[in-house]
Every structure is written in C-alpha cells, then in structure tokens.
C-alpha cells in the first residue's frame, strides 16, 4: 500500500471525496488543487495537496518532478484524471472562447497530465483512470461542448487502453450520472449568466430550453448520489486487481448507458425530450 496516487480536481466534490477515500486505504495521495487555500482545506494524513492547474504545463512538470523525487521512493499506482468544468449553452450561443476553454480543461489538460506521468506508470505497471460522464455517451441539449469533450475523452481512453495493454498499464473509464457536487452548482451559475446575456432572438429560441436544463440540474443537486458514494467507485476503479474497462456511477447513468446501446436515435431523442419536459417553465411547455 506504500504507493502514490495522483488525482486532479481534488479541491471539492468527487475529487476530494476520492482523495480522502484512497488516503484512508493507505495510499499517499497527491491531490491536485488550483489554489493554496484549497490545499489547506483538504490536507490530512496520506493526503498531500499539490498545485495542479491541468492547463498549466509548468505545474504539470512540477508534479511530475514531485513524483520522480518522492523521498520514500514510492511508485505511482494510478493517475485519476478528474478535473473538469461545465458550461451549459446552446451551440449557437456559446462563444468560441468558452468552447475552447471546456476542451482545454475537460480533455486536452488530461491528455497532458497523462503523457507526463506515463513513464512512472510504465515503471510500476500502474493505471490511468479517466473520469468521463454519462455525457460521454449521450449529448443532451446545451451540453454540446461538455459532451463533446467527454466523447473525446472516451475515444482517447479506448485508444490509449489498446496501446498500453501490451505494456502492462491499464486504462479505466468512470462514467458518473447525477452526483451532488459543487461543479453542478457552478454550472448552474454559468448557465444563468448565459441566459441573462442572450440577445432577444436567442432568448426567444432557447430561453425556455436553458431554463429547463437549469431546473433539471438543480433537481440533480438534491436527488443525486453523494460524492462519498461516487468515491467508492472511483477507488475501486483505481485499485481493483482486475478492474472493469468502464464503471458507471448511479442508477441513472447505468440506465442511460443501456438505453444508448439499444435505442435508435429517434427513440432516444423522444426519451430525452420527455425527461426534460417537466422542467420547462409552464409557459414554454
């Protein structure tokens, strides 16, 4: 158990819960945070905060140097690529700057971290755990940028798994559904800002839809799984002797994954529309 685990996006939510769970199991967790104050809040036995903005190559290099120079000579058991942001907006409305930002954080940053730590995983026979989403299987309206990055994460994970399997490094994907995390709340705040900033024409087209998405996200916040339950699945994905290739978190994620495999696009469109309809403002239904 004297091994290292690196996890990004560990300030709050599933990342923080997974860091605590793994530290409690005896791993020495390098918990990536973006601010010193966030690190002070989660520091504990076996839980060492490290500054890790995954879009900052200098911080990625510094974390790689920390692993290479570990004073106890501990190997890296796993990297858990968890950091992420969510900004809900229709494709027509979301700015190109925000499109690029979501891909930088939700995809390209994880590729950069993975490339930086793969030499350590080759040496240890370790594991890459990529946090995807049910949005990596099904793209709901206003989730174009977020789901696009998650679809890319799924594809990269498949390719990477097949590349690394002959060399003893495993790649596992985790697909959460509704989980109560701060990211959901931040996403709602950003969606509210998008709604306010819409011009009249776009508000007429998409205002009711975006309001429904916000209401649905708020419902997830109250009914979703607690982050601590999700952390048990993440820890299993990172440490199981014979892990599955993919794990889902929550009954909603498991159901939607099955539905995506079996239903036609026409049927899936109808199911998603029916699921969203109760969240529309009355005047927009």
Determine, yes or no, domain membership for 28.
yes
Cβ atoms within 10 Å of 62's Cβ, excluding its own: 14
Which DSSP string do the residues of 79-125 spell out, in sequence order?
EEE---------TTTS-HHHHHHHHIIIIIHHHHHHHHHHHHHHHHT
- CA dihedral in degrees (117, 233, 19, 6; nearest 10)? 0
Q: Is the pLDDT of residue 251 over 90?
A: no
Give a yes or no: residue 213 inside a domain. Answer: no
Among the listed residues 27, 146, 206, 247, the single catalytic one is 146
Q: Is residue 139 part of a domain?
A: yes
Is 206 a catalytic site residue? Answer: no
- Is 266 part of a structural domain of the chain? no
Q: Would the pTM of this model clear 0.75, i.e. be above it?
A: yes
* Count: domains in the chain: 1
Residue 154 lies in a domain: yes
- The domain spanning residue 145 has which CATH number? 3.40.50.720
Residue 206 inside a domain? The answer is no
What is the tens place of the pLDDT at every residue in 99-154?
Answer: 999 999 999 999 999 999 999 999 999 999 999 999 999 999 999 999 999 999 99
* Residue at 209 is within a domain: no
Beta-sheet pairing, 127-131 with 47-51: unpaired
Pick the closest to residue 79 from 5, 161, 20 (CA basis). Answer: 5
- Provide the domain limits for residue 30: 4-180+226-258
């Amino acid at each position: 158990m004297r091994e290292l685990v690196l996890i990004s996006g560990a300030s709050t939510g599933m990342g923080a819960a997974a860091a605590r769970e793994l530290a409690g199991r005896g791993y020495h967790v390098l918990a990536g945070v973006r601010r010193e104050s966030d690190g002070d809040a989660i520091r504990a036995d076996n839980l060492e905060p490290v500054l890790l903005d995954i879009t900052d190559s200098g911080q990625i290099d510094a974390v790689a140097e920390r692993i290479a120079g570990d004073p106890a000579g501990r190997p890296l058991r796993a990297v858990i690529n968890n950091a992420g942001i969510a900004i809900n907006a229709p494709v027509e409305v979301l700015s190109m700057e925000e499109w690029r930002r979501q891909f930088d954080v939700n995809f390209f940053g994880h590729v950069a971290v993975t490339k930086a730590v793969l030499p350590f995983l080759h040496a240890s026979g370790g594991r890459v755990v990529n946090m995807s989403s049910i949005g990596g299987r099904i793209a709901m309206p206003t989730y174009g940028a977020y789901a696009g990055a998650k679809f890319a994460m799924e594809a990269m994970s498949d390719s990477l798994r097949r590349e690394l399997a002959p060399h003893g490094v495993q790649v596992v994907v985790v697909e959460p559904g509704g989980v109560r995390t701060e990211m959901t709340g931040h996403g709602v705040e950003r969606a509210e800002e998008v709604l306010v900033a819409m011009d009249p024409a776009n508000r007429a087209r998409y205002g009711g839809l975006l309001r429904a998405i916000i209401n649905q996200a708020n419902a997830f916040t109250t009914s979703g799984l607690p982050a601590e339950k999700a952390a048990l699945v993440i820890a299993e994905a990172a440490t199981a002797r014979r892990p599955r290739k993919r794990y889902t978190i929550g009954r909603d994620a498991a159901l939607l994954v099955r539905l995506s495999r079996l239903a036609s696009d026409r049927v899936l469109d109808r199911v998603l529309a029916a699921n969203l309809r109760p969240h529309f403002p009355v005047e927009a239904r």
